[in-house]
Structure 1
Amino acid sequence: MSGPFASLRDYLSHLEAAGGLRRVECAVDKDRELACIARWAMEGTPEEEQYALRFGNVTGYRTPVVVNVYANHARYAEVLDVGVERLLERWAEAMAGPHPPHRVDSAPVFEVCDTEPDLTTLPIPVWTPGRDAGPYLSSAVVITKDPQTGVQNLATYRIQVQSPRRAGVFFGSRLQHGALHHSAWTKLGRPTPVALALGVPPAVHFAAAAKTAPGIDEMTIAGGLTGAPIDVVQARTVDLVVPAQAEYVIEGFIPPAAEQMEGPFGEALGYMNEAAPAPYMDLTCICHRADPIFHGYVQQLPPSDGHIVMEIGVLGPLWYYLTRKLKLKGIRDMAIAPGSAGVAWLIVQIEAGRSAEADSIGRVLARLNFGQKYILLVDEDIDIRDPHTLNWAISARVDPHRDITLIDDVKTWQLDPAVMRRAAGLGVVEPPYICSMAVVNATVRCPVPEISLPSRQLMDKALERWPETRLPPIRPRQRIRRLLNTHGDSG
């Protein structure tokens, strides 16, 4: 079976059959051990060999917990049944041709419904043991709607278990669409209806991470990503529709203008976010499948599968705006640098013959501002997903005085400790916060010597003879192949 997948469990079955899911059957404590084991598995495995983990013996619970499901770019692309090289174009197609969801009358997620909800019955882990305030839903798709237009919004916000029937909702910024919805409901003097969907179809997870304009229902983008409408069903106690194929749906209301302390929590930039007042939701029911699977992101310090979902949630909409809306020419590909928390370092590959346009392309990207601190522009010979060649390009092709442009007073999100230090100095206590941005032009715009590699012909000949050497098998990296293809006559 190949993607797109109608449900998370369909994809997990596919993963396990392909050897991409490992089961942990020993007893594991969800608050002290689970995240630590998952972190070591991620840190100790190359990205291309990453695997999902299924914890089947969580102490005190019968429900299994799965993590690291979207473990690398190939895995993400597989979900959408495309190659990695077509991921951004697939996103542009989805946003240009969204599919409204399909309403159904019944759904697996409503096989069991409890109107006396208790969050402590779910195996919700502590993701930064010894530091977090308690268990958190790290991958919940938070569903709200605009009270005026009725358009729903999907997003992934952190959700803290504060009591059996209460959960803290951290929007991160009052500019987030969910926060805007909550503000609109509060102005009407009414509670905000909210649903938390857990273990949703993969495309719904991906769409919930998308950086889109207000007024767009991300469920339609999820349909665009899969090429078919997503099945949705009316929620039981709130006026919202939810993914029919979810594992869990948690429903409730956020009281108007009410807050309580939330946090601390280990955030996606790799630092602890301090406790502060935040909205909370009072639960009205918890529904789930008869045999639910609990899914979470081990996000915290990069890298993780949550960061990959964040990263493409930035790149996909950005590619759409650049290529479909602005019809900007000269960009061949884009990536987010590993370790930059899914957003901070944007790498842009300029088409061959267009290096002279790199500065103007950089200015356009800076004006769009999808949350980047750095924009790095490179030529086609650079593998934009390889740190070695990226560092080589910066080291050998950049004159800092000439090729780095600093832009001040750029709006940014609040979880960056460097930004928060500046905000504290200015006495700014709420977003939007301000930082600076650097645009680095690492394209070649003058004659340069040949690169110091043997010619492609000789390198290919050596590769053909590799079996004769009786050395261990090798997998040539894309970075060297790209350089040889671009500078084939060198050496």
Structure 2
Amino acid sequence: MKYYDDLRSFIDALDAMGDIMHVTREVDCDFEPSAITRRSYEIQSPAPLFHHITGVESGFRLFGAPASLSSRSDMPYARVAMSLGLAPESTGLEIVEALSAARHKPGIPPVRVESAAAPCQQNILRGEQATLDRFPIPFAHDKDGGRYANTWGTLIVKTPDGKWVNWSIARVMKVDGKRMVGLIVPSQHIGQIWAEWVKIGEPMPYALVQGPAPAISCVSGIPIPAHADEADYIGTLAGAPVEVVKAVSIDLDVPATAEIVIEGHVSITRDCQEGPYGEYGGYLGSGSSAQPTFHVETITYRDDPIWPMSITGRPTDESHTLWAMGLAADALTYLREAELPVKAAWIPEDSTVHWLLIVMPENWRELLPGVSSEELSQRIGEVLFKTSAMVFIPKVYVVDDDFDPTNLREVVWVLSTRVHPVGRRAVFEDQRVIRLPQCYEEEEYVAGKGAKVVFDTLQTTRHLHASFEQGYPQEVRQRILDNW
């Protein structure tokens, strides 16, 4: 296993295993990089690295699909695993377990280095020179409200008293060279911190970090508890502290090896229209909303910087790999803390983060004597739907462990044959609903309330599968395999 402390060493490692597609011809920055990246997701090709983009300084590059499925069929989750310092052949369930396990280990705080040792400050732009127009920011989709300056970068903010520092991913749209507008959801951690600045009537300092160490981007995109510092959690995953440097113009520390850092302040009112944007559910956006303005004041960057991007849409992109694994790890952590003997949790990529599978071991009834499967499903829903991350999940399936939950073909077979048409489900009415899940009615989005459900698919008696593995004697199977 190896931890990559900057984006460049990670790209080199992917390149060495044949998982980078070098796009050396000049591409039009409007749509070509995004369209190529989107197609790379849909055909599971190597990740595209764009070397020549029309209208920007020579040497500036774009990198697409940083944590999607690998083009290597023998290690499909390699990009996510390697980002987190895990072996490239790690399975999806192993990644979820690692993310959950790290929640229970002591955090390793970051260490500050001097500016001279920080590659992210090799070049410094101030005042009118600090303009987004210098950088290759494409339209993600042709129906979007503008060019999206953040799809895979880390936003760094902290509370006015400095006690809580938050690193997160949120979509941010470019307005012009000096302004951006970002989606700030009140219930999310960045929204909670922004609200504290609004209370005291002062604009919130922010740093938007493009291309830090891959683990930073990944952890910024998954749920961890409020008031926990992502930097400390990343240190735990890496086994060493993250190196940070003081930002040039604001009182924040930023990752020292980042490619680009944008510094400034966020307005205290929702004074600019953001959106629409094509989201992870797989549909192009159709609406916009008033959101705070991110004013650009200073930009620092490495020589020949690389701007990473995630072009969300139909499966499979970073929303359906990394973010889904993070949500599954969050669910797994809370259920085990509630002393429920859950074996695994998994969100199938093709469900676009609308299904969560909770896998129970064969002996769960022995571990929970006197508890029926209906009662277990009710308990699972009561635990999960109290957590903030589960606002994104409308449907939970409690399943046996007699199949591979990461194999979509097996998932469809199990859900088709074990979900009762009418009964065996726990329905939770009046749960919090936001617009990102795509399965609700307009009146439910307006009210912010809707139903969520836990389906009980657990078998009373385990049935043998009509399969090669379970349908024939072992000696027959072995003879066939030996002569295949």
Aligned to 1:169, which of 176, 182, 204? 182
Partner of 1:465: 483
Report the TM-score, using the length of structure 1 for normalisation: 0.87
Aligned to 2:109, which of 100, 106, 116? 100
CA contact (8 A) 2:212 2:255 kept: yes
**What is the distance in 2 between the residues matched to 1:94 and 1:353?**
26
Report the TM-score, using the length of structure 2 for normalisation: 0.88
Q: Judging changes above 3 Å, is the alpha-carbon distance between structure 1 residues 447 and 211 closer, same or farther for their aligned structure 2 residues?
A: closer
CA contact (8 A) 2:399 2:458 kept: yes
Matched, 1:68 2:81: no
Question: Aligned partner of 1:182: which letter?
Answer: W
Counterpart secondary structure, 1:27: strand
Question: Which one is further off, 277-286 or 387-396?
Answer: 387-396
Q: Judging changes above 3 Å, is the alpha-carbon distance between structure 1 residues 51 and 450 closer, same or farther for their aligned structure 2 residues?
A: closer
Matched, 1:54 2:49: yes
Aligned to 2:413, which of 384, 392, 411? 392
**What is the distance in 1 between the residues matched to 2:145 and 2:343?**
41
**What is the distance in 2 between the residues matched to 1:345 and 1:394?**
11
Counterpart secondary structure, 1:75: helix
**What is the distance in 2 between the residues matched to 1:461 and 1:69?**
43
Question: Aligned partner of 2:125: which letter?
Answer: D
**What is the distance in 2 between the residues matched to 1:417 and 1:42?**
21
**What is the distance in 1 between the residues matched to 2:376 and 2:136?**
47
Q: Show CA shifts across 1:64-101 (max 9, x none).
A: 11111212223312332242242223213322222111
User: Is there any run of 5+ residues in structure 2 with no aligned partner, and where?
Assistant: 70-76, 366-370
**What is the distance in 1 between the residues matched to 2:462 and 2:197?**
60
| Poorly superposed stretches of 4+, deviation over 6 Å | none
Partner of 1:90: 98
Q: Judging changes above 3 Å, is the alpha-carbon distance between structure 1 residues 452 and 114 closer, same or farther for their aligned structure 2 residues?
A: closer
Question: Aligned partner of 2:86: which letter?
Answer: D
Residue-pair matches, total: 451
CA contact (8 A) 1:419 1:434 kept: no
The CA deviation at 1:328 is: 2.7
Aligned to 2:449, which of 430, 434, 444? 434
CA contact (8 A) 1:126 1:134 kept: yes
**What is the distance in 1 between the residues matched to 2:350 and 2:141?**
18
**What is the distance in 1 between the residues matched to 2:462 and 2:167?**
49
**What is the distance in 2 between the residues matched to 1:360 and 1:218?**
35
Counterpart secondary structure, 1:96: coil
Partner of 1:13: 12
Aligned to 2:123, which of 101, 105, 112? 112
Partner of 1:297: 310
The CA deviation at 1:167 is: 0.5
**What is the distance in 1 between the residues matched to 2:176 and 2:17?**
40
Q: Judging changes above 3 Å, is the alpha-carbon distance between structure 1 residues 215 and 335 closer, same or farther for their aligned structure 2 residues?
A: same
Q: Show CA shifts across 1:126-179 (max 9, x none).
A: 1112444334321121111111353111111111110111000112x2111111
Partner of 2:86: 81
Q: Judging changes above 3 Å, is the alpha-carbon distance between structure 1 residues 417 and 335 closer, same or farther for their aligned structure 2 residues?
A: closer
> Where do 1:205-216 residues align within 5 Å?
205-216=217-228
**What is the distance in 1 between the residues matched to 2:372 and 2:479?**
37
User: Is there any run of 5+ residues in structure 1 with no aligned partner, and where?
Assistant: 467-491
Q: Judging changes above 3 Å, is the alpha-carbon distance between structure 1 residues 338 and 451 closer, same or farther for their aligned structure 2 residues?
A: same
**What is the distance in 2 between the residues matched to 1:186 and 1:373?**
32
The CA deviation at 1:23 is: 0.5
CA contact (8 A) 1:132 1:266 kept: no
Counterpart secondary structure, 2:350: coil
Aligned to 1:402, which of 420, 423, 428? 423
**What is the distance in 2 between the residues matched to 1:113 and 1:447?**
64
Q: Judging changes above 3 Å, is the alpha-carbon distance between structure 1 residues 237 and 192 closer, same or farther for their aligned structure 2 residues?
A: same
CA contact (8 A) 1:140 1:159 kept: no
Matched, 1:339 2:361: no
Matched, 1:180 2:192: yes
Partner of 2:168: 155
Matched, 1:237 2:249: yes
Counterpart secondary structure, 2:27: coil
Q: Judging changes above 3 Å, is the alpha-carbon distance between structure 1 residues 399 and 258 closer, same or farther for their aligned structure 2 residues?
A: closer
Question: Which one is further off, 119-128 or 393-402?
Answer: 393-402
Question: Aligned partner of 1:443: which letter?
Answer: L
Counterpart secondary structure, 1:56: strand
**What is the distance in 1 between the residues matched to 2:121 and 2:441?**
43
Partner of 2:232: 220
CA contact (8 A) 2:143 2:277 kept: no
Partner of 1:4: 3
Q: Show CA shifts across 1:259-313 (max 9, x none).
A: 1111111122223151121111111101010121111111133321343121122
Q: Judging changes above 3 Å, is the alpha-carbon distance between structure 1 residues 266 and 136 closer, same or farther for their aligned structure 2 residues?
A: farther
Question: Aligned partner of 1:461: which letter?
Answer: R
**What is the distance in 2 between the residues matched to 1:146 and 1:394?**
45
CA contact (8 A) 2:354 2:437 kept: no
Matched, 1:445 2:460: yes
Q: Percent identity?
A: 25
CA contact (8 A) 1:108 1:245 kept: yes
